[in-house]
Structure 1
Amino acid sequence: MTELTPEQERLRADVRAFADEVVAPRAYEYDTERRLPLDIIGQMGDMGLFGLPFPVADGGQGRDYVDLCLAVEALARVDQSIAVTLEAGVGLGIMPIFRHGTDPQKQRFLPDLLAGRALAGFGLTEAEAGSDAGATKTTARLDGAEWVIDGTKQFITNSGTPITSVVTVTAVTGEHRRGDGSVKKELSSILVPTDTPGFRAEPAYDKVGWHTSDTHPLTLTDVRVPESNLLGERGRGFANFLQTLDEGRVAFAALCAGAALGCLEEALRYARSRNVFGRPIGSNQYVAFKIARMQVRAHQAHLAWMDAARKLVAGEPFKAEASMAKLIGSEAAMDNARDATQVLGGYGFLNESPVARHYRDSKILEIGEGTSEVQLMVLTRELGLATADGR
């Protein structure tokens, strides 16, 4: 069942109008300048987008995860960077604090985060630890009543903006010896305010795409935060991280679907208006069939994330559906970006074209929030099949 409530239809229409009237006209400007337009983020905060899936009592909008995904999808049609700022800001930034934070932690960070006045990041990935979170080398040790954190993180979204207030950092807080003699790392999550001495966001990456999205490596040198900044139970960092990723993949899949839809809309607009040999190029069967396949992909991607989001909201198991939605959506976005560029021809190769931006941006959709290969690993395990490494 994919019907939307009247409130959800209004939300989608409002965010779509905002994307078309506010985001799209300036997208080429800030993409070229490689900066996050904080005024637009502020307007998104004023619209309540960062607080969509959170209770009114906590300062949110009292909606649900479907509503968040609808907003992300609508924004991604015109600018993936703006969409991922919202998606990561909520799924990776706010959600861990909301799910696992203490009341004092929530009271400190959530008001500004839910209002879009601040952003938060999730510091998981390292040079040798991403999909393999067990390889984390960042450490945190207790010294009296303080955690002392040392390590580096890579590819951390929303980690270095002027309004970034906190980054959740995963770190090894101890080790346990198993019965077979092997050592298991104890992984925990700790909240690190960005003004803490020793915390440094290094210069932003020079990326192929997502130029507007804020992404930095992080260095933590003798970073000291109170023991009370532990997020959730000690040693539960890995389990909590998996829950964060499962939920995040649903919204990420919505972003993918939005990108696929944006490419479809641009190709359709051009095919109807571009005349060659006295008729629109869309009247040529080859072009028409290519665009029809783009429609199929965008529709499948939308249905896939909707199915996963409905199950998430209903409290049903959704791990497999989230992975399928992310896999279907990322492939749809990449394929549609390639086909839309072909339909637009030379115009599709100009950076000022939304299609060119989608072409550059969409490859990361097959990598971020778990690569396509990771999604296949998840699905084989959910099917009860062993992967090649026997796990």
Structure 2
Amino acid sequence: MVAERLMPTQESADLIDLTRTIVARELSPHVTEYESSGEFPREVFRALGGLGLLSLPFPEEYGGGGQSYEVYLQVLEEIATGWASVGVGVSVHALSCFGLLTAGTDEQKKKWLPELLAGDKLGAYCLSEAHAGSDPAAMRTKAVRDGDDYVIRGQKAWTTHGGVADFYKVMARTSDDGANGISCFLVPADSPGLRADTPELKMGLMGSTTASMLFEDVRVPAEQRLGDEGHGLQIALAGLDAGRLGISAVATGLAQGALDVSVAYAKERETFGKPIIEHQGLAFILADMAAAVESSRATYLAAARMKDAGRPFSRQASIAKLVATDNAMKVATDAVQVLGGAGYTRDFPAERYMREAKVMQIFEGTNQIQRLVISRDLSR
């Protein structure tokens, strides 16, 4: 079964149909290969860029698709239904471009955005550090002004696309003024002194490379600072609001994939003379899974429409991320249960969905942090 969608225009409905075709033909046949080997599917991102699927929520003047977040997120969900690692990668790539669009100068946007949006260059986002994940204001990576350059020294953790990206958006400390002492920089991957550590050995999302990035006196021209000195954390947090919507859509897509596998299996597997979907105990599990998936979709779309309307959406983004990722974990776990012993084997993707769902509750701010954001907003 596929997700039922009510798209705002015929053009956006056609875009969904195109995405489903691409996922079925170009992505799904390769998932097992790449997730088993841990190889990063770089050519997939070039292909998606060439088809315009990396640039959807960005302005047409820079090579973007000019689409609303309501449309973009549903395309992203379709990609993640077929391959969660690629869905995460598309979301992170958009996050790496977001600050450039919102805080960059016209010259910076014209120089960097077209190649990124076309998929010729792949972006990454360097905010977290080993001791400063949920508390980014505690970061220690420093950028010291030296004439017309900054010299960056430190280490960034948990970088999606670390070591395979062409471009890194980096937050580094330019003064000791706490949260107001952080600035944002655009750093090409070939900058001398920049290197990736050994990729992390993860539970899931093997097709998405994650590594720490080491900055050993990396010299960055001052013209590659994004925004004013001291505004880096504001740029980062604004991007995270949009990034949380991306992960909400990815988590919903993963849950949809888990539901699809479960329903298909339950229609074919028979016990006591009838398909197991006709046994009420299991049918009710499937019904709850379907309700969770559709609730997640409705929640992220409500937040996206707030963003598209130009209204504040931080609380709604955190709610969407919390709901969609918790639901994805529950749906993926139930998918393994529906398949029984078969769900515990790699003959079916249910076990992969379960492993992949866990990290959705952790990155882009843990779900405990989302609850903190929501409760603080309520207290105002």
TM more than 0.5: yes
What is the distance in 1 between the residues matched to 2:175 and 2:72?
A: 36
Aligned to 1:349: 344
The number of aligned residues is 376
Aligned to 1:151: 154
Aligned to 1:388: none
Structure 2 counterpart SS, 1:321: helix
Aligned to 1:365: 360
Report 1:56-71 matches (<5 A): 56-71=60-75
What is the distance in 1 between the residues matched to 2:319 and 2:189?
A: 35
Percentage identity across paired residues of the two chains: 36
Report 1:214-225 matches (<5 A): 214-225=209-220
Within the candidate set 70, 76, 81, 2:85 is matched to 81
What is the distance in 2 between the residues matched to 1:203 and 1:103?
A: 36
CA positional deviation for 1:352: 4.4
> How far does the alpha carbon of each residue in 1:271-294 deviate from its partner, in whole angstroms, 9 at most, with x for none?
011122321111111110000000
Report 1:155-166 matches (<5 A): 155-161=158-164, 164-166=165-167
Check if 1:335 corresponds to 2:339.
Answer: no
Within the candidate set 8, 19, 41, 1:4 is matched to 8
CA positional deviation for 1:160: 1.5
* Contact 1:78/1:354 (<8 A) preserved: no
Residue 378 to residue 184, structure 1, CA distance change in 2 (3 Å): closer
Check if 1:255 corresponds to 2:260.
Answer: no
CA positional deviation for 1:32: 0.5
CA positional deviation for 1:361: 0.3
Structure 1 counterpart SS, 2:176: strand
Check if 1:122 corresponds to 2:120.
Answer: no
CA positional deviation for 1:108: 2.4
What is the distance in 1 between the residues matched to 2:157 and 2:281?
A: 43
What is the distance in 2 between the residues matched to 1:53 and 1:184?
A: 29
Structure 2 counterpart SS, 1:142: strand
* Contact 2:7/2:13 (<8 A) preserved: no
Within the candidate set 13, 16, 19, 1:15 is matched to 19
Structure 1 counterpart SS, 2:190: coil
> How far does the alpha carbon of each residue in 1:242-298 deviate from its partner, in whole angstroms, 9 at most, with x for none?
100011111111111111111111100110111223211111111100000000000
Aligned to 1:135: 138
What is the distance in 1 between the residues matched to 2:20 and 2:346?
A: 23
> How far does the alpha carbon of each residue in 1:182-218 deviate from its partner, in whole angstroms, 9 at most, with x for none?
x665010111111011000112111000100121101
Aligned to 2:238: 243
Report 1:26-45 matches (<5 A): 26-45=30-49
Aligned to 1:376: 371
> How far does the alpha carbon of each residue in 1:323-350 deviate from its partner, in whole angstroms, 9 at most, with x for none?
1111110011000000001111222122
Check if 1:53 corresponds to 2:54.
Answer: no
Structure 2 counterpart SS, 1:94: helix
* Contact 2:179/2:233 (<8 A) preserved: no
CA positional deviation for 1:63: 1.2
What is the distance in 2 between the residues matched to 1:11 and 1:274?
A: 35
CA positional deviation for 1:36: 1.8
One-letter code of the match for 1:111? P
Residue 321 to residue 184, structure 1, CA distance change in 2 (3 Å): closer
5+ residue gaps in structure 1? 177-182, 386-391
Check if 1:173 corresponds to 2:174.
Answer: yes
What is the distance in 2 between the residues matched to 1:376 and 1:111?
A: 36
What is the distance in 1 between the residues matched to 2:347 and 2:159?
A: 27
Aligned to 1:289: 284
Residue 3 to residue 63, structure 1, CA distance change in 2 (3 Å): closer
Segment of structure 1 superposing worse, 347-356 or 265-274: 347-356
Aligned to 1:267: 262
One-letter code of the match for 2:41? P
* Contact 1:267/1:343 (<8 A) preserved: yes
What is the distance in 1 between the residues matched to 2:55 and 2:354?
A: 30
* Contact 1:2/1:303 (<8 A) preserved: no
One-letter code of the match for 1:336? V
TM-score by length of 2: 0.96
> How far does the alpha carbon of each residue in 1:352-375 deviate from its partner, in whole angstroms, 9 at most, with x for none?
422121111000010010111001
CA positional deviation for 1:3: 5.0
Within the candidate set 315, 320, 337, 2:315 is matched to 320
CA positional deviation for 1:219: 0.5
* Contact 1:2/1:306 (<8 A) preserved: no
CA positional deviation for 1:38: 2.1
Alpha-carbon RMSD = 1.5
One-letter code of the match for 1:21? R
Residue 347 to residue 20, structure 1, CA distance change in 2 (3 Å): farther
Residue 3 to residue 71, structure 1, CA distance change in 2 (3 Å): closer
Segment of structure 1 superposing worse, 184-193 or 136-145: 184-193
CA positional deviation for 1:68: 1.7
What is the distance in 2 between the residues matched to 1:274 and 1:17?
A: 28
